[in-house]
Amino acid sequence: MNVLLVQQDEGVRAYHVPLYPIGLSYIAAALKEHSVRIFNPNSFEYPGSLEELKKEIVRFNPDIVGLSIRNLDTTQRRDPHIQFKTVRPTIDAIKEACPTAKIIAGGSGFSLYAMEIMNRIPEIDYGVFLEGDESIVQLLDNLDRPETVRGIFYRGNGAKNPSEAIFTGTRATPDFSRIPMPDRAPRVIDTKSYIGDYYNILGVQSKRGCVFKCTYCSYPFLNNDSVRLRSPVEVVDEIGHMIENYGLKSFVFVDSVFNLPERHAREICNEIIRRKLQIKWGAWLTPKMLTVEFLHLMKEAGCVHVGFSPDAVTDEGLRYLQKGITYKEVKNSIKVMRKTKGIVATYNFFCAYPGMDLRAVLRTIYLYFKIPLAIFARASVGLGWIRIEPHTAVYDTALKEGIITEGLDMLPEKEEDLLKLFYVPKRLWYATLAFDILAFLADELIKPVGRAAFRIVNKLKGERPHV
C-alpha cells in the first residue's frame, strides 16, 4: 500500500527550519513492506501548507494517510497558542484531495486525548495509542479486522453508533532495542533539507522512557517509567550513517534524560570519540551526580549545548515535583558548568508549583540573574508555568486546590480557555505578578541585551554561537 505519513502542522513557525519528524521516520522504518512517504507541512507557511499537502496527496495517491498529532498547544502561559486547531483543517484537506484514503491518527498529543479526539473528529478512521512501531504494522495487515490488534482505536463493528470509537486495549511497550533505525532515505523524506548548523533540528534517540516521575510530566504515561536502551554502537552507527549519507553537521539527543544511566551515555560518547566523528550535538541532562569529568567527555565527543530542567529551587519544591534531585545538586551543576568551557547551558524553572513559598519565589528570581552571570555568555534561564495535563499528579493536585474543576475541557480550541489550564494558585498572586513583570522585562530588555553580549563575546573568541 501507499502510505503517506503527515506531521501535524504547528500553525506557527518557531524555527527557521522545521523540526525533523523523527517519530514518523521510526514508523516509516517499521512499514518497510509498504511504499512510504513523509510530508512535513511545517516546511511551508500556514495555511498555504494545506495546499502543498493536497498536491503531495495527488502526486503520491496514498491508500493510507497517517497523521502524527504531536503538540496540542504551546504549553506557554505567556505565549498561548492552540496547535490542535490545525488538525481539523488538515483532515479536511486530506479528504478533499483523496476521499477514499483511510486516515490513521497517532502521536503523543493524540495519545493524551485519544478518545476525545476520535469523538471530535469522526473522519479519523483509526487511532494508534502510545508507541506505534508494532501496532501500526499489525493494523495495516488487519484493516478489515482491527479488533484483533491491541493498542488501536477503530469505528463500527458492533458499536451502537457506527461512528463510535472502540478501543482494543493497551498492548505491551515495544522493546526499543529491537526497533529498527529510523528510515531517512530520500525516497521517504528529504533529510538533507534539515541539515545545518542548528543543533536542535534533527534528533537522535538513544533510549525511550524515563525513571523520573515528575508530577507535572506526561512522559511516564506516554513512554513508560522504565528506561529502554539502544545499543551505544547502534546509536553511533546511526549518527555515522547520517554524516556519511546526508552530511550531518549537528543534532540533538531527544531522550528525556541523556545521562541516565550515565554508563550508557559514556559508552555513546566514547564510541563517537573512538570513530573520530566530527559532529556537534546537544542533550537534556539531570543535574544528579553531574561531574566536570563527565561534561568534559561530552565536550570531547562534540557536545555544544546541554539543557537542565530543575524546575524548583528548594528541596521542598523538588520533593513536591518528584524531581529525584536536591537543590545542592542544582547548585553543583552550575559549578560544573562554570568549569566546562565550550558548552552552552539552558536552565528552566517554574514560576509556580505545589509547595512554593515566598523563599522559593525570591530564590527563583535570584537564580534567574545569577546563572547567566556565573556561567557568563554560556547560559540562559527560562521561566514557565505548569500546563496541567491529564495522567499527571499535578492534575489531581489542581483539582483538590480548585484551580481546575471536574468536567473542565482539557483539550481547548481557544487560547482564552487554554489560559485556565495553567497551575496559577491564588495564594501565589504576588509570584504571578512578579514573574509577569520579570518576563516582560526579559523579553523586552534582558534577553536582547544578553544575546548581543553573547554574540560579542563569541565573536571575540572566534567562536560561532550554537542555536
First-to-last C-alpha distance (Å) of the chain: 40
Rounded CA separation 332/230 (Å): 29
Does 341 score more than 90 pLDDT?
yes
For 270, the grid coordinates are 566514547
For 285, the grid coordinates are 541532562
Does 114 score more than 60 pLDDT?
yes
Give the mean pLDDT of 385-393. Answer: 96
**Going edge to edge, which strands form the sheet with 35-39?**
35-39, 2-7, 64-68, 102-106, 126-128, 152-155, 165-167
Q: Which residues of 168-203 are buried (b: 16+ CB within 10 A; e: fewer)?
A: beebebbebeebebbbbeeebbebeebbbebbbbbb
For 94, the grid coordinates are 486530506
Cβ neighbour number for residue 433 with a 10 Å cutoff? 10
Judged by DSSP in three states, 432 sits in: helix
Maximal CA-CA distance, the chain: 71
Give the mean pLDDT of 11-22. Answer: 89
Read off the pLDDT of residues 287-306 as tens digits, 9 standing for 90 and up. Answer: 999 999 999 999 999 999 99
Band of the pLDDT at 467, cuts 50, 70, 90?
very low
To 10 degrees, the CA torsion angle through 279, 283, 288, 290? 20
User: 398 or 447: whose pLDDT is higher?
Assistant: 398
Give the mean pLDDT of 156-165. Answer: 71
Cβ neighbour number for residue 148 with a 10 Å cutoff? 12
Give the mean pLDDT of 40-68. Answer: 97
HSE-CB of 23 using CA atoms within 13 angstroms: 25
To 10 degrees, the CA torsion angle through 418, 420, 424, 430? 100
Give the mean pLDDT of 434-444. Answer: 87
Question: Are 86 and 8 within 8 A, CB to CB?
Answer: yes
pLDDT at 441: 87
Chain centroid to CA 81? 16
Average predicted confidence (pLDDT) for the chain = 94
Does 463 score more than 60 pLDDT?
no
Single pTM value for the model: 0.93
Rounded CA separation 7/459 (Å): 37
Domains (range + CATH), the chain: 2-167 (3.40.50.280), 191-386+423-461 (3.80.30.20)
Does 419 score more than 80 pLDDT?
yes
Does 465 score more than 50 pLDDT?
no
